[in-house]
Structure 1
Amino acid sequence: MSSLSVYHLSSPEIPNKVLTHFEDIVSTLAEQGVGFDRWQATVKIQPGASQEEAIAAYQAQIDQLMTERGYITVDVISVNSDHPQKAELRASFLDEHRYGEDEVRFFVAGRGLFSLHIDDYVYAVLCERNDLISMPAGTKHWFDMGEHPYLIAIRLFKNPEGRAASFTGDDIASRFPLLED
C-alpha cells in the first residue's frame, strides 16, 4: 500500500504524520507542488526485464504521458534482487539530488521510496505498482529501492539533458529511514 510519512528536519526518527489514504497523500503532496496519481499497470512484467520490454509493454501509457505533458525522453529502471549491481544502483540514488526539469515516474511493478526534501520537511513517499509521481524541476530528493530491490519504474523527461542529476552534497539522506525490505 502506498504511504506518505512527513518528517520535520529536526526529528528524522519520528514522522509528524503518516498517511495511507490515497486522497490524503494526493492533497498533501499537491500542497508542495508534487503530483501523485494512480494509473493502471495492466501488463504483468517482472523486475529485471529489459528497458525495451518495459517500454513495449507500456507504450500506450508512455505515449499518453508524452502527448499530454510534452515529455520526449523515456528510460526504465528495472531491478530485482538477483541484479549483479543492485548495491551500486541503490547507492547511486541514495544521495540527495535534483533534476533541471520535472521528473515523472510510473511504477509498473514493485515499489520504491522517494524522499522529497522541501523546506524544513521530508516527505517520504512509498510508491508501489500503479503509482505515478510527478516532481517539479529542482525538487531535492533521494530514492531507495531497498536492500533486496524489486521494481520497474518508467521515467519521463522533457529533454535528454534533464536526466542528469545534480547532487547537493548534503548528507541529509543518511539521517532518514530507508526502505525496509
Structure 2
Amino acid sequence: MTLLQIMSDKHSGDVTLRTTDDAVIAAELGKRGIMFERWPLPAELSGATSAEDLLAEYADRIAALDTDGRFKFIDVARIHPDESDPEWPAKAVAARTKFLDEHRHAEDEVRFFAAGQGCFYLHLGDEVLATVCTAGDLVSVPAGTLHWFDMGTQPEFVAVRFFEEQDGWIGDFTGDKISAGFPTLDELLAA
C-alpha cells in the first residue's frame, strides 16, 4: 500500500496528513516539487522478472521520462531474501542501514518500484514526508533534497534506477541523526 505521512521535523508525533490516496499523494508531493506517478503493472510481471524483460516492458515509459536524454545509466536494483544464504540476515541489515541516515545526492534520485516496497523520508524545511513506495510507484527526489531511505527489516524490492552519472547514487551524508526520531517503514505500515 502506497502511503504518505507528513510530520513535523521537530516531533514525529505531530502528523498533519496520513493518506493512501494516490491522487492526494501525487498532489501533496507535487506541491513540494516531488514527482510521483503510478505506472501500470502487467499481470506477468513479478519480482523474478529479469532486468532485461523489466526494462523492455517499460521501454516506452522510460523513454517518455527521459525525453531530454539526461539519464545515461538506467539499471535494475533487486533485493530479495535468500533463506539458503546463512549470511542473508547480515546482508539485509547492511543493505538497510546504508541509507538510513540523512543525506542528499548531486542529481535527482529517480526510482520506479516494480515489486516490493521502500520508504523515502523527505526532509523539506520544517516537514518530513514519509513516502512509502510500492509496486507501480515512480518517485523523483530532486537533487539536493535532504532525505533518507528505509527498506524495512525484511528488505525486498525490485526498482528501476535512473542516473545522470555513473556515480549518481553516492550520498552526501549530513551527519544529522534526525532519522532516529521517526517511525521506521515497518512501524508506518503497522500503524
Question: How high is the TM-score relative to the length of structure 2?
Answer: 0.84
Q: Secondary structure at the match of 2:117?
A: strand
Change (3 A) 1:55 1:165: farther
After superposition, give the CA deviation of every residue in 1:109-161 in whole Å (9 maximum; x if it has no partner): 01111100010110000100000001110011111111011211111022224
Q: Which residue of 1 aligns with 2:27?
A: 27
Q: Which residue of 2 aligns with 1:143?
A: 149
Query: CA–CA distance in 1 between the matches of 2:20 and 2:67?
Result: 31
Aligned identity (percent) is 38
Instruction: Look up the equivalent residue of 2:16 and give its one-letter code.
Output: N
Alignment of 1:60-139 (within 5 A): 60=59, 61-67=61-67, 70-82=70-82, 84=88, 85-139=91-145
Larger Rg: 2
After superposition, give the CA deviation of every residue in 1:94-115 in whole Å (9 maximum; x if it has no partner): 1111110111100000111110
Query: CA–CA distance in 1 between the matches of 2:68 and 2:156?
Result: 29
* Number of positions where the alignment pairs a residue of Structure 1 with one of Structure 2: 177
Q: Secondary structure at the match of 1:93?
A: coil
Q: Secondary structure at the match of 1:67?
A: coil
Deviation at 1:55, TM superposition (A): 4.1
- For structure 1, the residue ranges without an aligned partner over 5 or more in a row are none
CA contact (8 A) 2:120 2:150 kept: yes
Q: Secondary structure at the match of 1:6?
A: strand
Deviation at 1:69, TM superposition (A): 5.8
Q: CA RMSD in A?
A: 1.9
CA contact (8 A) 1:66 1:72 kept: no
Q: Which residue of 1 aligns with 2:11?
A: 11
Question: How high is the TM-score relative to the length of structure 1?
Answer: 0.89
Q: Secondary structure at the match of 2:168?
A: helix
CA contact (8 A) 2:47 2:114 kept: no
1:159 and 2:165 equivalent? yes
